[in-house]
Amino acid sequence: MIYRLLTGDDSSAFCHKVSEALSKGWELYGDPAYAFDAEHGVMRCAQAVTKKIDAPYSPDMKLGAQ
């Protein structure tokens, strides 16, 4: 199992990032998180995703390519 934490501004681009991960076989892990970035005046989002893979984990993996 591999893990990624997707982050970004609360925008359609973030939603597309999560949707793309789901279309590649990643599964949502837990609830999304939101926080206000007062310095930049925007909401920030985070969503954890996991994926079962058939290869052993390596720190050299490019998780976004999985």
For residue range 6-23, what is the model confidence (pLDDT) as tens digits? Answer: 999 999 999 999 999 999
Instruction: Give residues with Cβ within 8 angstroms of 34, minimum separation 6.
Output: 10, 43, 44, 45, 46
Q: By the 8 A CB rule, do 26 and 63 touch?
A: no
The pTM of the full predicted model, rounded to 2 decimals, is: 0.85
Which pLDDT value is given to residue 57?
A: 86
Tally Cβ neighbours within 10 Å of residue 12. 9
Structural domain spans, the chain: 2-57
Instruction: Tell whether the model's pLDDT for residue 54 goes beyond 80.
Output: yes
Residue 61 — pLDDT band, cuts 50, 70, 90? confident
